[in-house]
Structure 1
Amino acid sequence: MGVSLMTRLAIKKNLMQVSTLAVLTTAIAGILSIGKAQAGVIDFDDLPGNVDWIQNGYKGFNWNNFAYLNSTNYFDPSAYRNGTVSNPNVAFNSGGDPASISINSGQFNFNSAYLTGAWNNGLNIRVEGLFQGSTKYSRTVNVGSTSPTLFNFNFLGIDNLRFTSFGGVNAGYNGSGTHFVLDNLTYNESESVPEPLTILGTLTAASIGVTLRCKQKQQKKAKTQA
């Protein structure tokens, strides 16, 4: 039993719609993936020795006033050991002074980090995300000294991450100051997202491509039937 002309036309139309949708879906997925990279985790555990400065270039960043130590070899009790998420190393702000992480060019996303007060309970840490010298994000968190606390920041498109600690009450350890412990910092490299006109152009090009392919198939079929 033959298929009617109307049925063949309906099938052809549906196939064209499915093909167009598939191409546009692929194009949109590619656009949305821009700016998203696999998250990196900085745990400081690959740094050698017991204590030292974190050098510029480590993990692709510049490190200002950040040092690290091997908490398993550091005297106890202290929150350096309490604040360790992954053994053996943690980072800290030397002297309890402000510290920062930056890149020379481009942007990155600061996702999260574990923070602990090295000597003080109720330590305040102001975390700021900057881009080209202007503050985009600012959040102050409060931490204790007995265990690390995970904070999700989601600072997007920054080139400088600044930490300033203050306040709190001494926890009774054999040391003092507004030092904080930093471990397992997560980040993404951030890429620029296309402008709306670029996105529209991509989708238009994809749609035109589908239309041309369909016309070529129709012309080829017509020649075959001639």
Structure 2
Amino acid sequence: MSISTVAKKLSTAALIGAVFVLRIGSVAQATVLTFDDIAPISYFVRIPNGYGGFNWDNFNYINGSNPKITRTGEDNGRVSGDYVAFNGFGNPALVSDSVFDFNSAYLSATWNNGLSVTVEGLNKGATLYSKTVVVNTTQPTLVNFDYFGIDELKFTSFGGVEPYYLRGAGTQFALDNFTFNEKATSVPEPTLLPALLSIAALSAGSVLRRKHQQNTKLKQS
């Protein structure tokens, strides 16, 4: 194998390695919205637009430690802190922004056990993804969505049966630890890429020098 062929293969490997490292870095920058860093409240209010960089339509956040909601999904569905989000009156709720990736979230039923929640990922009004999960009031369920390149999420809940121990029924669901990546984080940092490529080039050069030295020794022997 010629030195030029080796160099080409090393360069390709170096580029692939650099892209792989950058992709790992972007995944590590995922943001988790816990709803615990909005203004403290005793019961519930609307999630303000701008929280986490999103617009929130028909989403409230509620203090799950309030005695009024003991044993409901808003109490049992808490993953971090005291607060969770829920859809007002059990109606469809939307989260929108410029393009982003939706990774995962914890979902619970607020009142009805066996509640179905359909989560759609859209871009410019077109549905790119759709997943329906069934959740209960007793504990949160982690759902991995992996919706890439969307600008809107639509949550629609329906069905389920009121459990015997709750004096109320409804199609509200609880949402906690909303995890996403802004689209910008998947683009390589301009100052990081040259550094990685320089390291890769130095490594490739070192291998080529050793290869050349080995060939020289073989010729001299």
The Cα shift of 1:169 comes to 0.2
Helix, strand or coil: the match of 1:59? helix
Q: C-alpha distance in 1, partners of 2:81/2:3?
A: 61
Which structure would you say has the larger Rg? 1
1-side partners of 2:76 and 2:114: how far apart?
A: 15
How big is each residue's C-alpha offset from its partner over 1:50-92, in whole Å with a ceiling of 9 and x where there is no partner? 3211011001011000000111124223221111111110000
Selected match of 2:38 from 39, 47, 52: 47
Cα drift, residue 27 of structure 1: 2.9
Q: Secondary structure at the match of 2:15?
A: helix
Match of 1:98 in 2: 92
TM-score, normalised by the number of residues in structure 1: 0.73
Among 59, 62, 75, which residue is 1:81 paired with? 75
The code of the aligned residue for 1:177 comes to: G
What pairs up with 1:167-182 in 2 under 5 angstroms? Answer: 167-172=159-164, 173-182=166-175
Distance 1:95 1:62 in 2: 19
Q: Give the Cα separation in 1 of the matches to 2:62 and 2:91.
A: 17
Bigger mean CA offset, 177-186 vs 66-75: 66-75
What is the SS of the residue equivalent to 2:52?
A: helix
> Which residue matches 1:127?
119
State the percentage of identical aligned residues. Answer: 48
TM-score using structure 2 length: 0.74
- Name the structure 2 match of 1:118: 110
**RMSD (Å) for aligned C-alpha atoms:** 3.1
Q: Deviations over 1:189-208 (max 9, x none)?
A: 125779xxxxxxxx9xx99x
Residues 157-214 of structure 1 deviation map (CA, whole Å, 9 limit, x = unaligned): 10001100000000131322100000011111125779xxxxxxxx9xx99xx99xx9
Alignment size in residue pairs: 186
Q: Which runs of 4+ in 1 moved over 6 A?
A: none
Q: Distance in 2 between the 1:113 and 1:62 partners?
A: 17
